[in-house]
Amino acid sequence: MSGNITFTMIKPEAVEKKETGAILKRIIEGGFKIKALKMTRLTKEQAGEFYGVHKGKPFYESLITYMSNGPILAAILEKNNAVADFRKLLGKTDPNEADECTLRKEFAESKSKNAVHGSDSDENANIEANFFFSKRERF
């Protein structure tokens, strides 16, 4: 059975462009409930750990440099079928391939600077949520 939470991050370039409000509005209107929310900044080491699954890939070093380059907005979202439904709202990694009305079509600059992250499985949603939030910070 699919779980009911997913994890998202609004990435540094979208925060810098003051798009957090517009993106959160789309998420809430998409039926997701915000269970935890935090503006924070990753160190390069933390970004490396978060994206550890991509270690060794050609884009890994630039990804962790970019993700530690400025503040991000991290959130836990709740909805039935949260992971799959959020990935639908998010759109494909490359905004040029993303469907109309998706967050990446609207807000992403490129495949690497793609504005918003979303977990790819229930297992990773829990790992990623726990990476950013303690039990006390969730309701």
Q: Which of 26, 35, 79, 117 binds ligand CMP (CB under 6 A)?
A: 117
Q: How far is the CB of 47 from ligand CMP (least distance, A)?
A: 10
How many whole angstroms separate alpha carbon 75 and alpha carbon 73?
7
How many whole angstroms separate alpha carbon 6 and alpha carbon 13?
21
Q: What is the dihedral of CA 8, 122, 86, 35, to 10 degrees?
A: -50
Return the ∠ at Cα 125 (arms to 26 and 35), rounded to 5°: 55
**Does residue number 125 form part of the binding site for ligand CMP (CB under 6 A)?**
no
One symbol per residue from 94 to 113: x for binding ligand CMP (CB under 6 A), - otherwise; what is it? -----------------xx-
Cβ–Cβ < 8 Å for 83, 119 = yes
Q: How many residues bind ligand CMP, per CB under 6 A?
A: 8
Helices (H), 8-121: 12-16, 20-29, 44-50, 60-67, 82-90, 103-107
Q: How far is the CB of 117 from ligand CMP (least distance, A)?
A: 4
Residues between 52 and 81 that touch ligand CMP (CB under 6 A): 54, 59, 63
Q: How far is the CB of 92 from ligand CMP (least distance, A)?
A: 10
Q: Which of 93, 97, 127, 137 binds ligand CMP (CB under 6 A)?
A: 93
Closer to ligand CMP at the Cβ: 70 or 139?
Answer: 70
Closer to ligand CMP at the Cβ: 112 or 126?
Answer: 112
Phi, psi of 21 (to 5 degrees): -65, -45
